[in-house]
Amino acid sequence: MRLVIVGNGVAGITTARFVAERDPSVEITVYSDERYPYYPRPRLVELLAGQVLPENMAFYPDEWYTKRRIRTVLGCRVLEIRPEVHEILLDDGRAVPYDRLVLAVGAQAAVPPIIGSDLPGVYTLRSMRDALALCDKVRETKQAIILGGGLLGLDTAGALRTHGIAVCVVELLPRLLPRQLDVEGASLLQRIIEDKGIQILVGDSCTAIEGQGVAERVRLKSGRVIEAQMVVISAGVRPDLELASRAGLRCGRGIIVDERLRTSMPDIYAVGDVAEYNQRVWGIIPAALAQARVAAAQIVKDSATIYQDIVPSTTLKVAGIDLISVGEIHPEDGQHLDLRYVDATAGVYKKLVMRGAYAVGAIVLGDKADVRSAAQIVERRMDVSSYLNELFSQGFNLASLLRADAARERAKSS
């Protein structure tokens, strides 16, 4: 079987890995217009901060691909999919046949229609090329403005601050990370970030980027004007639908797939940031990994493995601050109880959203020890009703709750 994968991000390479492990006889070829082997996109911020060199960004060594007989063709753009004859057309004119095709083309940085957004000195951060361009610009930058206070915008601000650059983050919404944090958590996060020397402006937006042939200042809706030599637009991403749309695949916000990650065309699958399942495009790594596993199973004829939507979870460092947001953190049914713990001095905020005996959502900010435990409590649907009075008491941590639950399960089975 000839398997062609378009895109060498986490979804594409993980699909290749799972197929290779389950059926070594499959001929796997991965095509990417990037010139770099697979690297985790979150590490682009580390590259910008000077914490890793470009040559050390690759996630797997060359031998890893050789051992699994995964062939990668880098710096090669796929121009067209021809579903009726089961082949793709490359930018060098070659037509490549496939038996199964996986589209893992990901997403592109979204750039709002801002006057001056095409000026030199205006950047996005989505690829290695973007990160290297920003690294070059850092040397001549004293003031940078980040348009967008989402996860990537805040991480980018933190990375630029390590170079001694004055950084201002402008966020349209009235608080930071509204999808991941509630009002109280967002307020604490903003204070912690501002204590690191990063200016945060919420409830404002950019109307124009101005300058004589190069970005020199940003004009905000509030009327404020901020001088800057670098502007980074961090306004989210949009799935790359160009190939799929021209090939006639059914698309909405992403390429529409079913529970087996199949598209509307025979023998074509879509995974990762470009895939839309059940009217959702998650755009997060856990979803990409889960979808890659299912698509690989289908390709090796394991039709019993189907995709189920994940519990939404974000675990990362925001500007160097540990954060997890998992499950229902903004329930609207009124059938829930919120448990909170705040230590503003230590920069710690914890919240569990309870529905009956179960935690259905959690936020942990600034406490590395409880980040992983909070996710497990929600994802396992643990009964925590007997711990309600001590969940956030002095000296109690969520990891101890997991250990107690494991001991209880062992006692039941013995």
Task: Please give the full DSSP string across 135-181, using - where no structure is assigned.
Answer: HHHHTT-SEEEEE--SHHHHHHHHHHHTTT-EEEEEESSSSS-TTT-
* Bridge pairing between strands 122-123 and 230-233: parallel
What CATH number matches the domain at 2-107+238-299, 3.40.1280.10, 3.30.70.60, 3.50.50.60, 3.65.10.10? 3.50.50.60
Q: Identify the weakest region by mean pLDDT among 258-272, 365-379, 392-406.
A: 392-406
Q: Is domain 313-413 annotated with CATH 1.50.10.10?
A: no
pLDDT at position 250 is 98
- Nearest-angstrom CA–CA distance, 381 and 297: 27
pLDDT at position 370 is 82
- Kindly report the average pLDDT of the chain as a whole number: 93
| pLDDT confidence tier of residue 315, bands split at 50, 70 and 90 | low
| pLDDT confidence tier of residue 410, bands split at 50, 70 and 90 | confident
Q: What is the pTM of this model?
A: 0.89
pLDDT at position 331 is 80
Domain ranges of the chain: 2-107+238-299, 122-233, 313-413
CATH superfamily of 122-233: FAD/NAD(P)-binding domain (3.50.50.60)
Q: What is the mean pLDDT of residues 301-326?
A: 82
- Nearest-angstrom CA–CA distance, 82 and 329: 44
Give backbone dihedrals phi and psi of 406, rounded to 5 degrees, phi first. -65, -40
Neighbours of 213 (CB within 10 A): 8
Does residue 401 register a pLDDT over 90?
no
Per-residue pLDDT reduced to its tens digit, 190-200: 999 999 999 99
pLDDT at position 402 is 81
Does residue 9 register a pLDDT over 80?
yes
Q: What is the mean pLDDT of residues 10-24?
A: 98
Q: Identify the weakest region by mean pLDDT among 97-106, 148-157, 367-376.
A: 367-376
- Nearest-angstrom CA–CA distance, 20 and 354: 42
Does residue 72 register a pLDDT over 70?
yes
Higher pLDDT, 137 or 388: 137
- The reply to whether domains 2-107+238-299 and 122-233 share a CATH topology is yes
State the burial class of residue 153 (Cβ atoms within 10 Å of its Cβ: 0-12, 13-18, 19+).
Answer: buried
| pLDDT confidence tier of residue 409, bands split at 50, 70 and 90 | confident
Strands (E), 203-312: 206-210, 217-220, 225-227, 230-233, 237-239, 255-256, 268-270, 275-276
Torsion angle in degrees (nearest 10) through CA of 46, 47, 50, 54: 140
| pLDDT confidence tier of residue 395, bands split at 50, 70 and 90 | low
pLDDT at position 15 is 98
Cα angle 378, 384, 386; round to 5 = 175
